[in-house]
Chain A
Amino acid sequence: MPSYSQDLPPEGGFPTSIRYQRYIPKRGPSGFTLFVASFAIMGYGWYWVLESNNERRELSREKAWARIHLVPLLQAETDRDIVRRLEAAKKREQVIIDNQAPTVKEQRNFQALDLKAKTPGVGRYGGYDPKQAQPVYHTDRYVAPTFLLLPKEKIMNSQWWRGSKLFLKNPAYHERDDFSSKLEEKNF
C-alpha cells in the first residue's frame, strides 16, 4: 500500500485549548415558549384594541347625544325661518295675482302658494281637464312646496368663484344656451 502524505492531527490529539469542534449550545426559550410569548403579547395588544374600540363607540355615542339634545332648539329656529320665508313667498305671489287683468283674474282664479287650493285645469286623478278645478293634493297631511316662484329682479347671477362650471362642454339642460325658462302658454 502506498504511503500518502495527509494532514492528520498530532499524536494524542490536539491540545484541549484549541476548540476544533462546532459548539452551538441549546440555550434560551424553546420554540413553544416563543410562540406562547408572542401570542401573549399580541393578545395583550388585541385586548387593548377591543377596549379602545368600545371606548370610541362610547365617545361617538356621547357626540351623537350632544347633537340629539340640540335638535329641538335648532328645529325651532328652522321652523320659524321656513314659515317666514313661505309667508313672504305667498305675499309675493298674491301681489302678482292681484296685478293681473280683471278678465284673466276671474277666468283663471289662481290661489297663492296653496297646494290644496282648487287649481283650474287639474282634473280628478291628475289628468288635464279644463272644466274641472281640483286641488293638487287631496290629503290632510302637510305638503311642503316643491317649487317656489322667485322674481327675476332679485336673482343674482351665479358668480364664477362659487363653484366653477367654466369648462363644461356638456352642461345640464337648464344651463344650455338655448334653454328658455318661459313656460309655453297653453289654453286653459
Chain B
Amino acid sequence: MTTHREGIFVKGLWVEDPEPGYQSTLVEEVGLTSAPLESMSFYFQSYCKDYTRDFMLCKNETNDPKHCLKEGRRVTRCAMDLIGKLKKHCDPEWKSHWNCLDMKNHHFWECRNEEKPLNDCVFNNL
C-alpha cells in the first residue's frame, strides 16, 4: 500500500514550490527520523490500534488518497500524542534506546539492554 512510483523527469529535475492556500495546518506533522520511530513502533501499534485499524480499513476500500485524509489525520494526531507522552514520562530510556539503535544499524537484538527499562517504563506509565 505504500507504493508509488518515482516520477520520470525527461528534461530536468522538478522543483516544487510550497503551494499556499492549502489546508496544511490541520494537523502537525510527525517530524521524527527513523530510529525513534522504529523504537516506538510496537508501542504505537498498541496505543493507536483503533485509529490505525480504521485508517487501514478505509484504505482498503479505495486507492484514492483523498478518501482517507480524515482518518490519516487522526492517526498522526495519536502518534503525536504518544510521542508527547513518551517524552514526558520515559524520555531518558527512550533516548538511550534510539541512540543505541542508531549506533547498531537498527538491529533490535543489539539493544536489548536499553529496551528492557523502556518496556518497563512504558508498561508502568502508559
Q: Which residues of A come within 8 Å of B, CB atoms?
A: 59, 62-63, 65-67, 69-80, 82-88, 91, 141-142, 144, 148, 150, 154-159, 162, 174, 181
Q: B16 to A82, Cβ gap below 8 A?
A: no
* Contacts between chains A and B (CB distance < 8 A), count: 119
Q: B108 to A72, Cβ gap below 8 A?
A: no
Q: CB < 8 Å: which of B19, B44, B68 contacts A84?
A: B19
Contacts of B42 in A (CB 8 A): 65-66, 69
Q: A156 to B12, Cβ gap below 8 A?
A: yes
Q: A82 to B4, Cβ gap below 8 A?
A: yes
Q: Is the CB of B62 closer than 8 A to any CB of chain A?
A: yes
Contacts of B62 in A (CB 8 A): 141-142
Q: A144 to B63, Cβ gap below 8 A?
A: yes
A174 to B22, CA, bound (A): 34
Of all chain B residues, which has the CB nearest A162? B13
Q: A69 to B45, Cβ gap below 8 A?
A: yes
Q: Is the CB of B79 closer than 8 A to any CB of chain A?
A: yes
A35 to chain B, nearest CB (A): 37
Contacts of A69 in B (CB 8 A): 41-42, 44-45, 52
Of all chain B residues, which has the CB nearest A73? B79
Q: Which residues of B come within 8 Å of A, CB atoms?
A: 1-2, 4, 7, 9-17, 19, 22, 24, 29-30, 37-38, 41-42, 44-45, 51-52, 55-56, 59, 62-69, 71-73, 75-76, 79, 106, 108-109
Q: A155 to B13, Cβ gap below 8 A?
A: yes
Q: A72 to B109, Cβ gap below 8 A?
A: no
A128 to chain B, nearest CB (A): 24
Of all chain A residues, which has the CB nearest B66? A83
A69 to B40, CA, bound (A): 10
Query: With A72-B52, A75-B1, A82-B4 given, is the CB distance from A155 to B76 under 8 Å?
Result: no
